[in-house]
Structure 1
Amino acid sequence: MFKNTIALASLLLLSSTTFAAKDPVVAVVDGVSITKAELEKTYHENLMFISDKLVTKEKVLNDLINRQLGVKRAFKAKLDKDPIVRKKMEDIMYHAQISKDLEPRLKKIVVTETDVDAYYKDYPEYRTAHILFRVRTNPEEEENKAALNQALKVYNTLKKKPEAFAELANKFSQSSTAPNGGDMGFQPAIRLAPEYFAAIKGKSNDFITPPVKSQFGYHIIKVMGVKSVKSINNALYKKIVYDKKRDAILEGYFAELRAKANIKINKQLIK
């Protein structure tokens, strides 16, 4: 019995020594160990980013020590109970949980040239110019009415004199593009407000829309061109299509969660 105890103790000691040899402790901060593996991992992560300071293991170790001291003070101050901090922690956990649940599905996403062509058929890339009459996101009725009336006046002028678009954009538009005659250049549909894109989709060159309301205000839009699928930034559109497929997976994921949850909504308060 005694011999077995000694043998077991020796085995545990040997295992502990072997483990320590594999991942020795570089520093101890108030009882919390920083191992060599942790240091090496953090050091190589730091090397991936440009810094105005030389990246050395000593510097990285000091950063790890400082982090541990800061974390200790945060817990001592009970910051994990602070509502703002808890909200940020919940955000991190939210994204981490989604990543954990969906990573296998997201890895299976494949974007083909056929996918890009199909997407681009529905969302071609237009070159447009616009004259913007801004309103606040939650405008008073009078502010909204004044902006719309001004937009209608300019639009009526354009119906008689469409060649004056650039001149009127320079004079009236409240967009940063005003000095360029309102020219927005070519923009993928995802970079345009949905109402903006809907107003120009399928329209030919030189078409001018009546005032279109978006979250930014009222736009008068002129179509100036459309790219062929052969001229687009293929890598950008593959990313756009990937994001669309990812979003579809996310929608399905949350539909599954919502179906299992007890959710009550007061629709009167969201009108």
Structure 2
Amino acid sequence: MIKRTSFLTLLVLFSLNSFAANDPVVASVNGQTIKKSELEKAYKENLLLVGPEKVTKGKVLKDLVNRILGIERAKNNKLMQDPVVKYKMEDVMYHAQVSKDLEPKLKKIVVTEKDIETYYKNHPEYRTAHILFRTRVQPEKVEDEEAMKMAFKIYDTLKKAPEKFPELANKYSQMAAAPNGGDIGYQPSINLAPEYFEAIKGKKVDYVSPPVKSQFGYHIIKILGVRKFQEINQQLYKKIVYDIKRDEILKSYFKDLRAKAKINIFKDRLK
């Protein structure tokens, strides 16, 4: 029995020594070690990136050493207690936990051409121009009223002379596209403010909308074109539909979490 125990002990020691030999320590930093396997992994990851310096194992090893020194210094300075750092760390944990919980469901998401076609039917891609009378996100009453008054004044002019849209956009619009007659080109609906898209949805080319309020200010919108389904970027819309399906899974996930939690919302304090 004693001999058998000694043999097993030697076998374990041999296995550990063999493993250590295959994965030796390539550097130590204030007592912390960097194994060859860690270096190889970091080296391969760095080879996938393009940077100003040539990727070498020496450079990657230096980066690993610097990382250890930086983390050690942060711990010594108790940086983990800093409110900003704590918030960022919690944000990382939040996303990591959600990803871990939902990864199996997200992998099952399938987007078909029929899905894209159905989505596009309700969210066609318009080419538009607009005249923007900008306001702050939370404007004072006077500022908002002045912008609205000016928008309706220009709209009244356009009702009588719609051909003046490019000229008036160039003169009055407070946006980068003003010199181009307000033309912002074709845009998926997700790139437009919800109020903006709803104002033109279902309308035909050359339609000019009454002033529409969004968080950016007041818009007068003109439809310049509508893309056919066959002309759209299929990959872009596949991603849009994927994101919608993903967001539905997220909504369901958090709905379940909220149902199991004790939550008090003081609505009177939200005003």
- TM-score, normalised via structure 1 length: 0.97
In 2, Cα distance between equivalents of 1:58 and 1:71? 20
**CA distance in structure 2 between the partners assigned to 1:250 and 1:2 by the alignment:** 60
Secondary structure of 2:27's counterpart equals: strand
- Following superposition, the deviation at residue 130 of structure 1 comes to 0.1
Partners of 1:182 and 1:113 in 2: CA distance: 33
Look up the match of 2:222. Answer: 222
What is the alpha-carbon distance in structure 1 between the residues aligned to residue 31 and residue 88 of structure 2?
27
1:201-216 aligned within 5 A: 201-216=201-216
> Counterpart of 1:88 in 2: which secondary structure?
helix
The structure 1 segments of at least 4 consecutive aligned residues displaced by more than 4 Å after TM superposition are none
Q: Distance in 1 between matches of 2:19 and 2:47?
A: 27
Q: Provide the residue aligned with 2:179 in structure 1.
A: 179
Distance 1:128 1:268 in 2: 41
How far did residue 269 of structure 1 move? 2.6
Cα deviation for residue 8 of structure 1 reads 4.0
In 2, distance between residues paired with 1:83 and 1:11?
50
Secondary structure, aligned partner of 1:206: coil
1:61 corresponds to which residue?
61
Alignment of 1:1-271 (within 5 A): 2-271=2-271
What is the count of residue pairs matched by the alignment? 271
Q: Distance in 2 between matches of 1:231 and 1:270?
A: 45
Q: Percent identity?
A: 62
CA drift at 1:22 = 3.0
Output one character per residue of 1:101-130: Cα deviation in whole Å (capped at 9) or x when no partner: 111110001110000000000100001000
Structure 2: tracts of 5 or more residues without a match: none
Shift of 1:6: 3.2
Cα distance per residue 1:28-65 (max 9 Å; x no partner):
11121111111111111111111110100000000000
Residues 136-157 of structure 1 show CA distances to partners (whole Å, capped at 9, x for unaligned) of 0111111111111111110111
Tell which deviates more after alignment, 2-11 or 231-240.
2-11
Q: Which amino acid aligns with 2:27?
A: A
Measure how far apart 1:13 and its partner are.
1.5
Distance in 1 of aligned mates of 2:188 and 2:205: 17
Give SS of 1:80's match.
helix
Q: CA deviation at 1:4?
A: 4.8
| 1:146-192 CA-partner distances (Å, limit 9, x unpaired) | 11111111011111111100000000000111000000110000000
TM-score (norm 2): 0.97
Counterpart-to-counterpart distance in 2, 1:76 and 1:247 = 40
